[in-house]
Amino acid sequence: MTVRVRKRGAHIGILTIDRPERRNALDLETLEDIYLAVSKADVRVLVVRGAGGHFSAGADLSGVEGAEFGQALNRVLLALRDAPYVTIAAVEGAALGAGTQLAVACDLRTATPTASFGIPAAKLGLMVDQWTVQRVATMAGQGIARAMLLAADTVPGTAAHRLGLVQRLCSVDEALHWADEIAQLAPLTIAGHKLMLNQLDRTLKPSDDVLAAHTKAWSSKDLAEGLAARKDRRTPHFTGE
């Protein structure tokens, strides 16, 4: 199993992504394990964290070439958003690419000062989905969203907290104490409030232009070059083809 789940008391679950040798990069097996854990959790609060000092370094690049990975990731993101309980991403270390997507899919986020958020898709030649763009821009603001998506900038935990992307700047242990506090609140009230908040966050339907751009990027020579350069540990040479 690439995911560990344990209970903390009667009402809190702790989901740990457990691939420390890969900085908890996400592959299809891990996404399936996360989805099943989120779907089956009988909790009031679920804390999502990573093993070995990192949240998740993003997609395991050996498996992102096909549409199957994107579909599996989207299913996990929506499961976290729509879960009838509170989800907290307790981020330390790297939360990059799909790691940032997991974090913003959760209701709340904590981060250590040295944590880092980023979506380095432009360094690889791929594209994220429109829901991710909408979520990051809504939570962090247009300026930071543009820096992350257009310049592949990373945002440290301290800045993420200042901007409101992260609600608490603290350790993972302190995030668990916050979960303890939330678990004592009225669960039906929280579930109702979450439904109303999610109705403010309905996904925009991608336009034909956006869908065409997404298809073009994912079938491009640049994506093949980006993945090859990453594997060879060299700087990619993108041509826009």
Distance, CA of 51 to CA of 107 (rounded, Å): 21
Q: What is the pLDDT of residue 62?
A: 72
Does the global pTM surpass 0.85?
yes
User: Please, what are the domains in the chain?
Assistant: 3-183 (3.90.226.10)
**Per-residue pLDDT tens over the stretch 112-170:** 999 999 999 999 998 998 999 999 999 999 999 999 999 999 999 999 999 999 999 99
CB atoms closer than 10 angstroms to residue 7: 12
The answer to whether 138 and 235 are in contact (CB under 8 A) is no
**Per-residue pLDDT tens over the stretch 34-74:** 999 999 999 999 999 999 999 999 988 776 656 688 889 99
DSSP-based three-state secondary structure for 37: helix
The answer to whether 107 and 86 are in contact (CB under 8 A) is yes
